[in-house]
Amino acid sequence: MDTRVVSVDERPSRLIAFLVAVGVYFAVGHWADTAAASESELVRDVVEGLWFLGLAGLGAVFLRVDGAGATDIGLSRRFLVPGVGAFLLVWVALNAVGVGIATASGNPWGLGPLQQTTAGNLLVVLYLAFVEEFVFRGYLQVKVRSVLGADSAVSRTVTIGVAGVLFALAHVPRILAEGGYVGGTSVVGTLLVLTLSGVGFGVVYELTENLYFVGFLHAFGNSWPLLVDGFAWDGHAQVAFFVAVGVVYFGVTGLYRRLATGTLVTPRVRVEGAPE
């Protein structure tokens, strides 16, 4: 199978309705976060978990209404093993490269950073990451591409950019409540980081069409369970680690695309409007 056909309703009205619904839902979420701010950590976690569950339900409803399913967005069972395999390759490669950089630069490495990440924390970041990827890549990115009505490079690029920007803007209520929360940066800095992250995930999704792989990468980026803490290093070592992350991510992405082409999980997709 060289090309997989994905059918999603191409009417802009459905996209507008989705964006309005998400905007209202995020506003309600901001109110809920504010109301729960004075409660215990357990209550706040429950509120957040339920809110993300509702967000996933919203995406599932629109996906169903648009005539698409799990296979169309790379989330059916056939994509699970390839997605997990690709992610494990990323994890092994980053550990190997990270340890090499740490050894060469005199920085520490070992089980310490891994031991700081508990199983409970991993489950939480997986849950949150997969919900966001399902909504913003699995539904929104595919939907925008369907509305644009073309499979050209320009159409795909615009689609990735739009989904990335909307992914960042969806975090505005929490950014305003917390005053910028990515590494202590400003609100503008946080939006920039989130936009670049959204675009990066969008490129990986566009090239692999495997939502499991993107979801695992997203969760990985929120926890970094490695043998090294490359972001805590200084100077050239930190820069080298940043570069290594990009090279490994997109190197494995390119390898996945090459090996998966011609199979049932081929990343070569043509998006068409769903039949009436």
More confident residue, 57 or 169: 57
- The answer to whether residue 183 scores a pLDDT higher than 70 is no
The DSSP result for 130-153, as a single string, is: HHHHIIIIIIIIHHHHHHHT--SH
pLDDT interval class at 231 (50, 70, 90): confident
In whole angstroms, what is the distance from residue 269 CA to residue 142 CA? 10
Q: What is the pLDDT of residue 28?
A: 84
In whole angstroms, what is the distance from residue 157 CA to residue 248 CA? 22
pLDDT interval class at 155 (50, 70, 90): confident
The DSSP output letter for 53 is H
Q: What is the pLDDT of residue 208?
A: 95
* Average pLDDT in the chain: 87
Q: What is the pLDDT of residues 129-151, one digit of tens each?
A: 999 999 999 999 999 888 887 67
Q: What is the pLDDT of residue 77?
A: 93
